[in-house]
A and B are shown apart, each in its own frame.
Chain A
């Protein structure tokens, strides 16, 4: 064990002296996460507000005077146009309206969140009001109240668990970034400790000392694990920083525009369960990364081996958004890596069940052990270690 700790110490010393690695794995996540959380939302909120307040020209065809008047009241400047579709396509106007018979058609460029889509939204509101006015007039002419339109009321109330409600988008962000940072943080060290050592010519010297391969792999594994977890904690720290400290500095109206709000309200056992899950997943990934890394001849080759690994896990991560449809089957908690993502999601929402935790932890422990054996086996193979 002393030898493994010695190798761990050397690897950590090397990492801590590499400012580039330190910055990208530990500092950048803390700085980046608050920006990622609030930057786009704040920007979008600002743009949406400006669009709502500014007066925009819109192309119109065959509109009645009453509608034209309501458009003006809604800070829209109607401009008669011969071909509304062409006018929008050529970006003469952000949006246009045509009336054919009783049908209004609104034209806009609706791919993604554009200024055009915001103007279309304004027009929709105007036309909805116009329609409501016509309905109210028709009812009045027949001596009926507008209440007839709403014989019953419908109300939706959030009945989710308090933790789930408090988590908000954290329920998605925490598992997502934990996994991403565990993978990306460990990757640098794993490649450096394997392909990097090969490329620099230091591996042979290490293999010639009186130490078993198991100890060498274990020492390197501990270093990859430590940096992966530190990176993940830095990422989560950035999210927490974004949700607490940063929010304190932002104007209230800006926060209202941002939808990326949430917070962790777990008990101590919840945090411990999160940590244990992350550690087991990091151990699994670190072993896998070491096994892959030793196959590579150079650092660059190692990076090309690792890139697909990240992609492989991005897909199930994205599926987390639909996890509600999946959580009924215990079998999902045995699928490597996906089980961890599901459990993290459940833990953050406070919805994880003991059986799900048990299955995930035990299976992750087995996968980590198997991956470690694979890494040791890879280090034992001459054609792999001396492949250069």
Chain B
């Protein structure tokens, strides 16, 4: 469902993503793990067609990110930690606005709205102005916006940043639920404990390079039960 081949991104003299090749299958949560500046956000932005790769290519839902960006976007949703929705609109209005871009209107929109509201428990937020919502509720609206069109691929980039414990728990529960619907998720984070909870497979990204890839169990074995220890060991191997 998501396949990258030697995906590379340069910012002037900095190589943010270095020949990244990976594949994520339907019904799988892939953890893209690494410290800040590892290239996670650049990778997800390339997959979401927000920025263009310097080299290499990728396919999302069978569509090429360079030549078919609009098709890619139709089949993808993205949420990142800093993402917000329009403060002056009500929750329902925000979702209606974004739904329109996917051809969801009238009864179809209403059905999707009910689906997403029950999935994320946000019925009470729909008629509230976003500016009056708690940060957790806002994040739910951000997620609802990203999945309203039921994309095959969902990219989550540090999606729990700034969330309180309840909102964070709700998000992690949602990730599992969405995966169980047969969707493909890439979960990018530097918080290893979160990845241990939700990911099926993980990839360690360090200075733009994929230095390790394996199932969650394999990675935990590498770190003697700790994903964080596994990551540090792999970085040390690369540096050595």
Contact = CB atoms under 8 A, between A and B. Distances in A.
B201 interface: no
Contacts of B50: 204, 207-208, 382, 385-386
Interface residues of B, number: 32
A204 B101 contact: no
Nearest to A383: B11
Interface string B29-47: 0000000000000000100
Contact of A14 (B52, B83, B89, B142): B89
Contacts of B48: 208
A200 B142 CA distance: 13
Interface stretch (A209-217, A225-233, A340-348): A209-217
Contact of A205 (B45, B76, B142): B142
B78 A14 contact: no
Interface in B65-116: 70-71, 73-74, 76-78, 80, 82-89, 93, 97-98, 100-102
A158 interface: no
A171 B82 CA distance: 50
B145 A205 contact: yes
Contacts of B98: 205, 209
B97 A210 contact: no
Given A205-B142, A210-B74, A14 B88 contact: yes
Contacts of A212: 70
Nearest to A206: B98
A296 B71 CA distance: 30
7 contacts: A6-B101, A13-B93, A204-B82, A208-B48, A208-B78, A211-B70, A211-B101
A201 interface: yes
Interface of B: 11, 45, 48-52, 70-71, 73-74, 76-78, 80, 82-89, 93, 97-98, 100-102, 142, 145-146
A10 B78 contact: no
Contacts of A386: 45, 50-51
Interface centre among A6, A18, A210, by most chain B C-beta atoms within 10 angstroms, is A210
A14 B70 CA distance: 26
Contacts of A14: 86, 88-89
B87 A200 contact: yes
Contacts of B145: 205
Interface centre among B78, B80, B84, by most chain A C-beta atoms within 10 angstroms, is B84
A304 interface: no
B223 to A, nearest CB: 33
A147 B195 CA distance: 107
A299 to B, nearest CB: 13
Given A6-B100, A14-B89, A208-B48, 8 more contacts: A3-B101, A18-B88, A202-B84, A202-B86, A204-B82, A205-B84, A209-B101, A382-B52
Nearest to B102: A210
Interface in A185-203: 200-202
Interface string A1-14: 01100100010011
Given A17-B88, A205-B145, A382-B51, A6 B97 contact: yes
Given A14-B89, A17-B88, A382-B51, A205 B83 contact: yes
A209 B85 CA distance: 13
A348 B83 CA distance: 49
Contacts of A3: 100-101
Interface in A71-96: none
> 9 closest pairs, A vs B, by CB?
A201-B84, A210-B73, A209-B101, A17-B88, A210-B70, A14-B88, A382-B51, A201-B82, A210-B74
